[in-house]
């Protein structure tokens, strides 16, 4: 359901974040931009304090006042910055922290300059463009608040320039001609950065959804590939793979496993008389019976092929294997599926079982276990069918 929303947002000019994704959007930016925002805040603090040296060279008459003011600013704001980055969860707040502090810093700096009588003030005030550049380059999450703070910084800068120039005059006009291109350029950079951040997030979400859909589709394909379509039991391929794993774990843990090979008695006459649809229904009922008697995680029933099934019991000893085998033989007889065309005179569907344990002498591999179980299955059939032979 999110897929169309993300694609529509990506197609829109401003790549807006759908409301349902906003919490994830902020989490994405927290993971990708939190460190950047902290570093640029600390760099901004350091840069503002370092301008005390520039004041000493350009406006020495207020150098002491500048150093004291900047030190006080640093002592008051740096702990707040560190605390917010440690505790605050709102990325909007952290994203706007630097522009807000720069607005305050700009007001303080121009207030300092009004106390200077140095002839360098008229030129030195142009250094204030660093405020708007740093503020807009530091924004990463939301553009609208960045625009607001850009206007606030510009207002603080503008009022300071007007005060220093003694009103609107040629000096303020020249400053404006320098300042406005820097303002627009930095706003464009800010918009580009936030727009890129939105698109990066949306593309990441789209990639994640696509991957999830692919994994889900692959899971469905694996299920289809591993499941017998008629009975819903694991097919021969999947049963063999599970049996290999069970054999390995049994050897590692030192316990025994049992394999039961099961074949429906006289199934060909059943199919010939009742028809293949009835034969398929019979196979499904037998499969359902096997599945219902298996304990999840311990026993595994699968379709071996045709009318033949296999059951893996792990861990299992001789008594448990014999008990389960006989229980299955009795259960299928109790289903009382009519089979009126058996050559042996019985009138219901039965099956024969041959079973063996991995702990038996001479069983050194899974293939040997299968061979021995299969041999006992044919022994059960030769002995009259509808029974289990376990050794």
Looking at the annotation, which residues are catalytic?
307
Q: Phi, psi at residue 352, to the nearest 5°?
A: -105, 150
How far is the C-alpha of 236 from the C-alpha of 243, rounded, in Å? Answer: 10
Which tokens go with 42?
């600390």
Distances (CA, A) of 236 to 163, 232, 289: 88, 12, 18
Q: Answer for the pair 388, 329: CB distance below 8 angstroms, yes or no.
A: yes
Query: Which structure tokens are listed for 29?
Result: 């930016």
- Distance in angstroms (rounded) separating the CA atoms of residues 148 and 216: 45
- Nearest of 105, 163, 111 to residue 134 by alpha carbon: 105
From CA 284, how far away is CA 278, in angstroms rounded?
A: 10
């Amino acid at each position: 359901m999110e897929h169309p929303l993300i694609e529509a947002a990506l197609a829109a000019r401003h790549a807006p974040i759908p409301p349902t994704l906003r919490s994830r959007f902020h989490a994405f930016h927290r993971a990708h931009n939190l460190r950047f925002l902290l570093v640029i805040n600390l760099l901004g603090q350091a840069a503002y304090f370092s301008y005390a040296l520039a004041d000493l060279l350009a406006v020495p008459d207020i150098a002491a006042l500048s150093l004291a003011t900047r030190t006080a600013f640093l002592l008051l704001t740096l702990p707040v910055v560190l605390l917010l980055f440690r505790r605050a969860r709102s990325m909007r707040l952290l994203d706007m922290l630097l522009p807000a502090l720069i607005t305050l810093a700009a007001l303080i700096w121009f207030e300092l300059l009004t106390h200077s009588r140095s002839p360098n003030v008229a030129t030195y005030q142009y250094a204030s463009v660093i405020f708007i550049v740093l503020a807009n380059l530091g924004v990463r999450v939301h553009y609208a608040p960045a625009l607001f703070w850009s206007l606030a910084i510009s207002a603080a800068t503008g009022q300071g320039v007007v005060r220093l120039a003694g009103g609107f005059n040629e000096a303020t006009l020249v400053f404006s001609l320098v300042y406005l291109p820097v303002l627009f350029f930095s706003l464009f950079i800010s918009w580009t950065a936030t727009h890129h951040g939105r698109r990066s997030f949306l593309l990441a979400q789209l990639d994640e959804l696509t991957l999830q859909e692919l994994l889900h589709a692959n899971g469905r394909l694996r299920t289809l590939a591993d499941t017998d379509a008629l009975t819903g039991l694991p097919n021969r391929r999947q049963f063999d793979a599970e049996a290999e794993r069970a054999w390995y774990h049994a050897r590692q843990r030192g316990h025994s496993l049992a394999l039961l090979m099961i074949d429906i008695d006289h199934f060909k006459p059943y199919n010939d008389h009742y028809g293949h649809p009835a034969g398929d229904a019979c196979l499904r009922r037998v499969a359902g019976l096997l599945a219902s008697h298996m304990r999840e995680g311990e026993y595994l029933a699968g379709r071996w092929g045709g009318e033949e099934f296999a059951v893996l019991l792990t861990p299992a000893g001789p008594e448990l294997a014999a008990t389960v085998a006989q229980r299955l033989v009795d259960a299928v007889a109790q289903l009382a599926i009519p089979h009126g065309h058996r050559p042996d005179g019985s009138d219901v569907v039965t099956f024969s079982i041959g079973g063996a344990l991995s702990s038996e002498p001479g069983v050194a591999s899974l293939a040997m276990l299968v061979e021995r179980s299969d041999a006992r299955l044919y022994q059960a059939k030769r002995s009259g069918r509808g029974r289990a032979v376990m050794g």
